[in-house]
Structure 1
Amino acid sequence: MKFDLLTLFPAMFTGPLTESILKRAQQAGHITVQMHNIRDWATDRHRTADDAPYGGGAGMVMKAEPLAAAIRAVRGEDDPPVILLSPDGETFTQALAHELATYPRLLLVCGHYEGVDERVREHLITRELSIGDYVLTGGELAAMVIVDAVARLVPGVIDAASITEESHSDYLLEYPHYTRPAVWDGQAVPPVLLSGHHGEVARWRRQERLRRTWLRRPDLLERANAAGLLTDADRTFLASLQAPD
């Protein structure tokens, strides 16, 4: 899978892309990430990519000409999704990460300053995504989040078993994890995890996923139930959590 990143600040991506899983994924050929400096498509000697907004107001706006030229040049004939990272966009979720991982290529446009010229958004952007209800200095950090979340779903990047029961994979949060020592600072690992009984371990983990989601994100339980992902045993356990002592 290939990620093309259009940005005014390509150096911001150096650290995250050259460490850990993303580094190994690129070395193994599972993903390719290429940065494109939008200023390379500016036509003046100062490589200007932003200008003051019509109508006045604070901040600068990314100019249409260099951004549009960059998108058209990088997009190519295979016509990948052209995604603008913007606080106005659709909220990025794990379900969207799975959807985007099915594409062979994504083109991510990093907004900056007060935003991009609206004409580019209307005619060249196919989707807008936000990573949350807050504002960043630019779309670069949001693009890194999306690259990381999508890349780890590409076959071969991470062991498939590691993805099966993680948070948000089926609207439930992940169960607690423990490792050695069995007792630390007077706190012991739950005995069931030391029992060697795989069925009981699986049952405990399922119930802990339900418990944690019920405590922290009850809205996700509603979505899991609506999607038909809760069993009768799940509902019985959840009812026991709500019952008075």
Structure 2
Amino acid sequence: MEQLVNFIIRPPSSNVLKFDLVKFHGFVVALVCVGIAYFAEFHKFLKALTARAEYNPDNDLLDQEFMLKGKWYQRKDIEVKNSRGDVLQCSHYVPLVSPEGKPLPCVIYCHGNRADASEAAIILLPSNITVFTLDFSGSGLSGGEHVTLGWYEKDDLKAVVDYLRADGNVSLIGLWGRSMGAVTSLMYGAEDPSIAGMVLDSPFSDLVDLMMELVDTYKFRLPKFTVKFAIQYMRKAIQKKAKFDISDLNTIKVFV
């Protein structure tokens, strides 16, 4: 870019004009090639909004009944409908026999789909903490067309919390989120002060800032104005495709 600016504000002398034009042409070609590659990455991101990791509940979830540390537990499969009418596939890991028949605290594990929650269940169930997990809309076996990295997923989480409150079989509710699930937990937790606590693993604070930072890791650096233009292009494309604004995905602003 510095070569381009210098070419414009300090025109070369005639004896080096041909050589500088060759260099300038090469620079422009390189910039276009890198730009095309970068836009290709954005299109991969757009495609990822509709891609989903499917799984087989019989093979990839904990069994319907299973034993941990000498006690029996069960997986209750549940369907919950979100505010947009999408059916969310959920599972609640609970003791086969509830201790003293009292409501137990519950941790909602938030990631992409239920297949990721087995680790949390194995850790928490022996401490008499039940684990609820879900396929977010657009993920796994749930309804919905798009993954929105936390924007609409927070509404899914609200639907699940409302279900658990109405069911009456849990006491305190906490959230354990990873990656997108951590962002979802932050965005929902800011609206619900009744959440007892949150474990947040690898959330991003601002999606646009994250994109800018990721660009710096590329082998070929693009001028900042080109990156900003590309992000605005993607922002408009996502608004049209998935009906949300990536600039609103800021987990810091929700607490301000």
- Range into which the TM-score falls when normalised by the shorter chain: under 0.3
Higher relative contact order, chain-length normalized (CA < 8 Å, sep 6+): 1
Greater Rg, structure 1 or structure 2?
Answer: 2
- Normalising by the residue count of structure 1, what TM-score does the alignment of the two structures yield? 0.27
